[in-house]
Structure 1
Amino acid sequence: MNVREIHEFLNEMWEGIFRLNEELKLELPKEGFKVEDVEEAFGAYIFIDGEWKLMKYPHPAFEIKPQIEVGATPESHYFVVAVPRERVSENFVGLFLELFPRSFIYGAENFLSDIYNWRRDGRVSPEEVLRKISESDEKVFQFEANFGSVKALRQGIMRLIELGKRFEIFDL
């Protein structure tokens, strides 16, 4: 283990999220969103070696209210948007999977049981995802997308906002 590399990686991860947070604080209020400060998020899970593993260490994250969390883990940069069951449609699911191929869909309560997992499931139809959602007892579903850089994450957030407004998933 190279301590210097770990140190530089973590600094870069946190700095990127702080910078993105400041940029979005200037832009997103015009769209009706409130961007919260970056915080240390604890108790998250990361998908490694085919299973969800608890991160016992903090990672940088912030909220874009309503309904979006943005952050970075050692695995990727990400956003998660909470969508109430009644607002999940086949068209929304289809476009989400098309726009964000590196994604996960899971319930808010039973978040370790995936409805969709890009690392495991490959390409599935929106109908199949909707079937799993309809069979679930969950009331809110988490749609997560992963990105390889802060720049790609920023673009993804803007696409998500467009998509969410189109399908009226936000409580604005």
Structure 2
Amino acid sequence: MNVREVHEFLNDMWESIFRLNGELKRELDEKEFSVEPVEEAFGAYIFIDGEWRLMKYPHPAFEIKPQMEVGATPEGYYLVIAIPRERVSGNFVGSFLEGFQRSFIYGAEDFLSDVYNWRRDGRASPTEVIERIDESGERIFQFEANFENVEELVEGIKRVIKIGKRFNVFES
């Protein structure tokens, strides 16, 4: 293990999230979205070698209220939007899967059991995903999209806001 590389990687990861947080505070309409400060997120999981593994170390993350979290892990950048079951539609699921190739869908309570996992499910149809949601006892579903860099993440945030408004997934 090269300590200098690990150190630089972690500094870059944190710095990029702090910078993004400041940019989004200036860009997003405060009447619709509140960009909260960056925090140290603990207790997250990362998908490694075909399974979810606990991260015992913190990673940078912040909320975009209502319902979104943005952050970075050693795997890359992510965006999660939490949506109550009654607001999840087949059209939203289809648009989400089409727009975010690297994505996961899981419940808020049993988050280690995926409803959709891009690494395992390939290109499951929106109908299959909706059936899994309907069979689940979860009340809130988390739609997670992963990105390789901050630029892709910014575009993903804009895209999820657009489709979220279109399919009325945001709570007032």
TM-score range, shorter chain: over 0.9
Size of the alignment, in residue pairs?
A: 172
TM score, norm. by length of structure 2: 0.98
1:113-170 Cα deviation digits (max 9, x unpaired): 0000001110010000000000000000000000000110011000000010001101
The letter of the residue matching 2:152 is: A
The alignment status of 1:54 with 2:37, answered yes or no, reads no
Superposed CA RMSD in Å reads 0.8
* Uncovered stretches (5+) of structure 2, i.e. residues with no partner: none
- Per the alignment, do residues 58 and 48 of structure 1 end up closer, same or farther by CA in structure 2, a change over 3 Å counting? same
What is the letter of the counterpart of residue 94 of structure 1?
G
Q: Tell me what 1:66 maps to.
A: 66
Match of 2:110 in 1: 110
Displacement of 1:29 in angstroms is: 2.7
Partner AA of 2:92 in structure 1: F
- Please tell me whether residue 131 in structure 1 is matched to residue 163 in structure 2: no
Question: What is the distance in 1 between the residues matched to 2:19 and 2:119?
Answer: 29
Q: Structure 1: how far apart are the matches of 2:133 and 2:69?
A: 21
| CA apart distance, 1:30 | 4.5
Letter in 2 for 1:24: L
1:152 corresponds in structure 2 to: 152
Aligned residue number for residue 84 of structure 1: 84
Report the equivalent of 1:45: 45
Q: % of aligned pairs identical?
A: 73
Write the distance in 2 (CA, Å) between the matches of 1:42 and 1:123.
Answer: 31
Q: Give unpaired runs (5+ residues) of structure 1.
A: none
Aligned-partner residue type, residue 75 of structure 1: E
TM-score, length basis structure 1: 0.98
The alignment partner of 1:29 has SS state of coil
Give the drift of 1:58: 0.1
Q: Runs (4+) of structure 1 moved beyond 4 Å?
A: none
1:47-80, CA deviations, whole angstroms, 9 ceiling, x for partnerless residues? 0000000000000000000000000000010000
| Separation of aligned partners in 1, 2:14 and 2:111 | 25
